[in-house]
Structure 1
Amino acid sequence: MTSSAPTAELLAEVKRNLGVIPNMTKAMANSRALLKGYLGLSGALARGALDTATRERIALAVAQGNECDYCLSAHSYLAEHVAHLDTDEITAARKAQATDAKTAAILALAAAVNDGRGDTPTGVVEAARAAGVTDEEIAETIGHVALNVLTNYFNKAAGVEIDFPVVTA
């Protein structure tokens, strides 16, 4: 694939951050606007209130809900090697579950937002607040769902080849 200079700079940034350029970002590079938008939102949310482990758990729950094997594979790898989650924690996250009450509430909210396409059952947000989830964390959870829906849909529609140890829904 040949990239324009500005797109090549974006891909070089991905390589600096991850050490590799995943197939998803290579495919996104067909549209500089898409790649730049994805990297911008991803980067902004990475600097937010939710820690890496929680962000990876959300990504796993959403990927499972959307049956995206690429994202399940990528985020299972990242959950283990970057967020240091164990196999049981990764399995639980795929089911939108966690042993910690606050994390479980965040995952329940993420799954409800994803499953309801934004509509959430009565009480889900209130339950998150009751578990200690702040309004900032609620907003970021919704942002992470949207980011992961983008990548799930993109990878499925574009048929992106999985370049991580394969995990299937």
Structure 2
Amino acid sequence: MSRLPLIQPDTANRQAAELLAGVQQALGVTPNMTKAMANSPAVLKGYLGFSGALAAGVLPAHLRERLSLLVAQENGCDYCLSAHTYLGERRGKLDAGQIAAARRGEAEEPKSAAALAFAKAVLRSKGGVEDAELKTAREAGLSDEEIAEVVATVALQVFTNYFNKTADTDIDWPVVRHDH
């Protein structure tokens, strides 16, 4: 059972209800994570804004989903791992092998592999990457814009991982557990 209440659209305050209605309209569902975030409309609005901005960025959906899978696996967040396995299949068009590889920080395509390796370095160093890691990412073809978005995607996913682990958000996706 979630440790933060799951705010229902019909009982939410006006601002939270409007935000949740936007989620429902955009996704066709209102995930429990957004219902938990609706305890603070500021948190939900911030999440939706950051997520929306990155979705309009240069990183393709398949790479954003791969990065999300890596971060969820590294942080042991089963809610996010479940959500991004589902979304990775549908939004990112990833197959089971690509999803498993992303969780390990791997991809067959060299540029995606470089982005995942850089993301893992960002995550494990808490942003304190070495010059050589940045150079390797650039040499693999990542632009500075893409590098910035990889860092931002890692940061967004760390937020959602920490939020869902703290809230112990009830998983409303097909359940996937992290590897220990």
Name the TM tier (shorter chain): over 0.9
Of residues 126, 130, 133, the one that matches 1:117 is 126
Residue 31 (structure 1) aligned to one of 27, 33, 40 = 40
How many residues align structurally? 169
Q: Which runs of 4+ in 1 moved over 3 A?
A: none
Q: CA RMSD in A?
A: 0.8
Distance 1:63 1:121 in 2: 23
Which whole-Å CA distance do the structure 1 matches of 2:167 and 2:15 have between them?
22
Residue 18 of structure 1: aligned partner = 27
Q: Aligned equivalents of 1:123 and 1:67: distance in 2? A: 28
Give the % identical residues: 56
Which stretch shifts more, 107-116 or 21-30? 107-116
Task: Report the secondary structure of 1:164's partner residue.
Answer: coil
* Alpha-carbon separation, structure 2, partners of 1:24 and 1:50: 23
Please name the residue that 2:158 is paired with: 149
How far is 1:115 from its partner? 1.2
- Aligned residue in 2 for 1:106: 115
Question: Could you say what secondary structure the match of 2:176 adopts?
Answer: coil
Aligned with 1:132 (options 104, 123, 141): 141
- Quote the offset at 1:3 in angstroms: 1.1
AA paired with 1:134? S
Give unpaired runs (5+ residues) of structure 2.
1-6
- Residue 132 of structure 1: SS of its match in structure 2? coil
Question: 2:100 is matched with which residue?
Answer: 91
Q: Following the alignment from structure 2 to structure 1, what is the Cα–Cα distance between the partners of residues 81 and 124?
A: 17
Paired residue for 1:81?
A: 90
Deviation at 1:121, TM superposition (A): 3.6
Equivalent-residue separation in structure 2 for 1:77 and 1:131 (angstroms): 28
CA distance, structure 1, for counterparts of residue 103 and residue 50 of structure 2: 23
Q: What letter corresponds to residue 40 of structure 1 in structure 2?
A: G
Runs of at least 5 residues in structure 1 that lack an aligned partner in the other structure: none
2:67 paired with 1:58? yes
Give a deviation string over 1:94-115, Cα, whole Å, max 9, x none.
Answer: 0110011111010011111111
The amino acid of 1:59's aligned partner reads: S
TM-score, normalising length from structure 2?
0.92
Q: Deviations over 1:119-164 (max 9, x none)?
A: 1244111111001000000000000000000000000011101000
Is 1:41 the counterpart of 2:50? The answer is yes
